[in-house]
Amino acid sequence: METTLRGVGVSHGVAIGEVRHMGTAVLEPPAKQIPAEEAEHEQARARRAMEAVAADLTARGNLAGGEAQGVLEAQAMMAQDPELIADVERRIAVGSTAERAVYDALASYRALLAGAGEYLAGRVADLDDVRNRIVARLLGVPMPGVPDSDEPYILIARDLAPADTALLDPTLVLGFVTEEGGPTSHSAILARALGVPAVVALPGAGELGEGTEIAIDGSSGEVFVDPSAEKRAALEADAAARRAALSASSGPGATSDGHTVPLLANIGGPDDVAAAVEAGAEGVGLFRTEFLFLDDSARAPSEEKQTAAYRQVLEAFPQGRVVVRVLDAGADKPLDFLTPAEEPNPALGVRGLRSLLDHPDVLRTQLTALARAAEGLPVHLEVMAPMVADRADAKAFADACRAAGLHAKFGAMVEIPSAALRARSVLQEVEFLSLGTNDLAQYTFAADRQVGAVSRLQDPWQPALLDLVALAAEAGRAEGKSCGVCGEAAADPLLACVLTGLGVTSLSMGAASIPYVRAALAKYTLAQCERAAAAARASESADEARAAARAVLSGE
């Protein structure tokens, strides 16, 4: 009998297939004592296993490229952390086996992360994956991970580690469903980049039987168990209609009555450029520069290395717009040379622009490298600061850009509610705003973007979040300056229409989402988008807002 479950849709598309479950996590190794004379041998085993796992994660990152590479390299650094290695060796010296020492050492790290504020707690899944891989290698058992199958299937998991998501084969994995996670978790972002339909935060997903046929809608978040022939036909018809709309859609982003909405790509480095160009991106709305800094957390990359990487991206968009975000370090992206060693709540501490203003040499080098990279190119370079709280922050950043001789537009990201509430004040110092809806939701609702239990508060359809977007867009309009969205909210075709109706001037997203958003915008007039936006803001919940906007746009 057909039943319907509802999670959070995080990656567009429809998938129909049989359930396959993620490989079982490594069991807890027994707590047995070893003789003192075996300690040195066990320590060597532990070091070899940790080095091998780090190498494997790095290799997976190199294969995956793009945003996934940075995430996996950060995991590799976890496996090679000198303090972790020293802790493991101490435990072995007092009688633990290598596998038990690794398990216990990482358990203590896990407890520290879980208690270090919600933002860092989101890294627990990544740490668990590192632990499981090291312990599996030591025990000589298969790595936990994606099941082997010759036939396409829908993957079910409690959560997916970045190492698993990054290398999913979309010819075999039709889609995936997880119990944990949220719309802006690493796995959700990587799923969108892969173009794999995905639903997260679905309670009871693990109880779906192996081999059960299900259908998932990665837009609505619905999962249909044992779908009827009628439901299958309807879903397949919807999917075919979407494909037809996508193939017919091309050119710049615009509403049906010609109101232009540039559609830009979010990228993590040069490896993401090809997909953005292929998708017809009109430029880059968010160039995350962190990928350059993750190779070595002890020191910043040289000006020469930065210049070469930035120029690669700028050259790919002649005459186009490229918006570069300067280094956003801190919270879940700590760097030894930049961020404080210990903070009670890093997400609310010295992060983003705050870190850079404390280390003006790092900011100056990056801005100088960007200036050099843009020399002689016709590209429209724009540079923005993360975590701007007020006008003083915006002025400090603009002053630093001018001092570095940067000939570009200077902007501010709106990720903190204060910046949205005082957007006109911020715009006295900078030339554009870019709304990072992922962090803006996190700070508005005190809801960690990585924690599935609070995913409803991370839903970008929350009316309170739409109110903040409207405030920022209105400020931009009043000052005659642009206000775009570069958070994952822009990747939702229906929400993209609402954001346009709120007055947002550009939309930036993962490359795979651009055709969907282009096709959706082309169906409606600006007036229809404005009416949908008003209906969404007048709602009392995210679900009501979504339904209200859909009703307006469908003419109900």
Q: Which residues are catalytic?
A: 186, 486
Radius of gyration of the chain (CA): 24
- Look up residue 34 and give its two tokens: 């070893």
Is 166:68 a contact under the CB 8 Å cutoff? yes
b/e string for 218-237 if b means 16 or more Cβ within 10 A? bbbbbbbbebeeeebeebee
Contact 442, 492 (CB under 8 A): no
Altogether, the residues listed in the chain come to a count of 556
User: Distance between CA 428 and CA 482 in Å, rounded?
Assistant: 13
Considering only the C-alpha atoms of the chain, give the largest distance between any 2 of them, rounded to a whole number of Å: 79
Handedness of CA 459, 460, 461, 467 (dihedral sign): positive
DSSP states of 149-209: -SS-EEEEES---HHHHHT--TTTEEEEEESS--TTSHHHHHHHHHT--EEE--TTGGGSP
For the chain, the distance separating the N- and C-terminal CA atoms, rounded to the nearest angstrom, is: 30
Write out the two tokens for 498.
Answer: 């609402």
CA distance 42 to 32: 13
Which run of H or E residues covers position 88? helix 82-93
Find residue 287's DSSP bridge partners.
267, 324
* SS3 readout for 298-350: CCCCCHHHHHHHHHHHHHCCCCCEEEEECCCCECCECCCCCCCCCCCCHHHCC
Angle in degrees, 0-180, between the axes of helices 514-521 and 493-502, rounded to the nearest 10: 60
DSSP notation for 250-316: -SS-B-TT--B--EEEEESSGGGHHHHHHTT-SEEEEEEGGGGTSS-TTSPPPHHHHHHHHHHHHHT
**Euclidean distance between CA atoms 415 and 440, whole angstroms:** 4
Cα atoms in the Cβ-side hemisphere of radius 13 Å centred on 16: 14
The answer to whether residues 276 and 267 touch, using CB atoms and an 8 Å cutoff, is yes
The DSSP code for 492 is S
For 276-280, the CB contacts below 8 A with 24+ separation are 276/316, 276/511, 276/514, 277/316, 277/317, 278/511, 279/511, 279/512, 279/514, 279/515, 280/250, 280/251, 280/514, 280/515, 280/518
